[in-house]
Chain A
């Protein structure tokens, strides 16, 4: 059993000069065979392993990660968590995740700093108002706490927004989800890794998948830079690299991997106490506990695996930020970076079996996967363990692209695709 984290363990360890803390997770070499292998050690992959072990008793499993855990989009996103999606299927999925978030620090005994400071989406034209009201009504009936705010209420909730009617695209109102908020991204990966490891899951870093071994229509294992590992079940949670893994298995996915950028400012004392998103002028901003303004930019419109986007996108985003928050003009960009986001045509994810037996994909989260991490892991674990989707992820199957039963969430997904 790992030592439990608490103020008391901190005091106790302080007395021994912090020399006696245990490893948060082991650093094992891969075994020859596992009951299941999760490809991708991001938040979703680690959560999948955690729930496979915890809820489905599958402890002879491994997570293989090409680099270091949490080093992909988990460590690169702007940490927004909300569930105010339009369609029932999405609302069900994301609210399932949100409910897990609400108790995740305690569940993992790792402070993921889920901070329910609210997420507000702004409307800037009449169609925005219609769309956001539609979403608010749908959320309310789905039991998701969304309320509509008029312009004065928007201003009251976040006073630094420029709500003047004279700006180019004035704020005409907004929808607010108070249970929504942000969390500490690294902690999510580390917390799940520590939890999964404690139950016996092998987390194998610097282990790159080079091939998927198939025998007819079923999988037999993975080829890696650490050798061949046998398994009957492979859950791929490789985000931007999903297609790369899919190609190894000889299948194609309805995905395009594009650069998505984000940036932070230098840290300042508290100035914005919530998360504000604006689709129409394309800006979203929050402030981290450290004091940095955390700003999400848009995607570039081309495929790239470079983790770099074009400067125009950064410029466009900051333009919108200054339109809504002219007080930030003298704030300084400290750091910008890019991730690779795998985008589905309907801006909804895939948590699905494939035509190959034992091969499962969890991908297509596009620009907004972080918020779903716990729910995604839970439902993907269910799908892998039972070889059947849970009812909450049934709609997010691969077959929807054949039947046409898409879950179009372009309106709610927030970043223009």
Chain B
């Protein structure tokens, strides 16, 4: 079980958090303009990366804040944590 460094609360056990999957998939501003294919791309298609992944976590049993985590999915090592809206590090 990881330890996640919540940018608002500090280091906490993973069990306090929930994962929201791949980060930086912005909800289309004008969904009606999209084709079915484009909309499906947003809705369902994922990189599902083995390696360094940018992902969203929520401190569900804490401050309830969402933030981003850079984690290597091949070994679960967390490389960075940053707030929503902040520039992703090491991209």
Interface positions, chain A 230-246, Cβ under 8 Å from B, are: 241, 243-244
CB distance from A170 to the nearest CB of B (A): 28
A243 close to B47 (CB less than 8 A): yes
| CB of A40, distance to nearest CB on chain B (Å) | 15
The interface residues of chain B, by DSSP majority, are classed as: mixed
Q: B37 contacts A402, CB within 8 Å?
A: yes
- A303-B74 CB under 8 A given contacts A311-B1, A312-B15: no
Asked if A401 lies at the interface with its beta carbon under 8 angstroms from chain B, I say yes
Question: Which residues does chain A contribute within 8 Å of B22, judged by CB atoms?
Answer: 303
**Binary CB contact string for chain A from 200 to 243 against chain B (1 if under 8 A, 0 otherwise):** 00000000000000000000000000000000000000000101
Residue A253 at the B interface, CB < 8 A?
Answer: yes
The one of A254, A305, A403 in contact with B74, judged by C-beta atoms closer than 8 angstroms, is A305
A253 to B71, CA, bound (A): 20
Task: Answer whether residue B11 sits at the interface, using C-beta atoms and an 8 A cutoff.
Answer: no
Indicate if the CB atoms of B48 and A253 lie closer than 8 Å: yes
Residues from chain B with Cβ under 8 Å of A402 in the complex: 36-37, 39-40
* Distance in Å: Cβ of A371 to nearest Cβ of chain B: 23
Given A312-B1, A401-B43, A403-B36, are A257 and B48 also a contact pair (CB < 8 Å)?
yes
CB of A96 within 8 Å of the partner chain? no
A243 touching B48 in the complex, CB below 8 Å, given contacts A303-B53, A310-B15: yes
Question: A302 an interface residue at 8 Å Cβ cutoff?
Answer: yes
When chains A and B are docked, how far (Å) is the Cα of A271 from the Cα of B35? 56
B74/A306 in contact, CB under 8 A: yes
Which of the listed residues A302, A304, A342 has the most CB atoms from chain B within 10 Å of its own CB? Answer: A302
Contacts of B53 in A (CB 8 A): 303
Q: Chain B: which residue is nearest A243 at the CB level?
A: B48
Complexed CA–CA distance, A83 and B46 (Å): 29
Q: With an 8 A cutoff between CB atoms, is B50 at the interface? A: yes
Distance of A220 from chain B, by nearest CB (Å)? 24
Instruction: Assess whether B14 is in contact with A252, with CB atoms less than 8 Å apart.
Output: no
Given contacts A310-B1, A312-B15, A402-B36, contact A305 B50 (CB under 8 A): yes
Within 8 A of A (CB), among B48-80: 48-50, 53, 55, 71, 73-76
CB of A244 within 8 A of CB of B1, answer: no
Q: Complex Cα distance A15/B44, Å?
A: 60
- Contact yes or no, A243 B46, CB < 8 A: yes
Is A308's beta carbon under 8 Å from chain B? yes
CB contact under 8 A between A252 and B41, given known A305-B74, A306-B76: yes
Chain B residues whose CB sits within 8 angstroms of the CB of A401 once the complex forms:
40, 43-45
Nearest-neighbour CB distance to chain B for A398, whole angstroms, equals 9
Q: Which of A255, A311, A312 contacts B48 (CB 8 A)?
A: A255
Cβ–Cβ contact B14 & A310, under 8 A: yes
Any B CB within 8 A of the CB of A247? yes
Q: A253-B45, A254-B45, A345-B44 are in contact. Are A244 and B37 (CB under 8 A)?
A: no
Residues of A near B50 (CB, < 8 A) are 241, 243-244, 257, 305
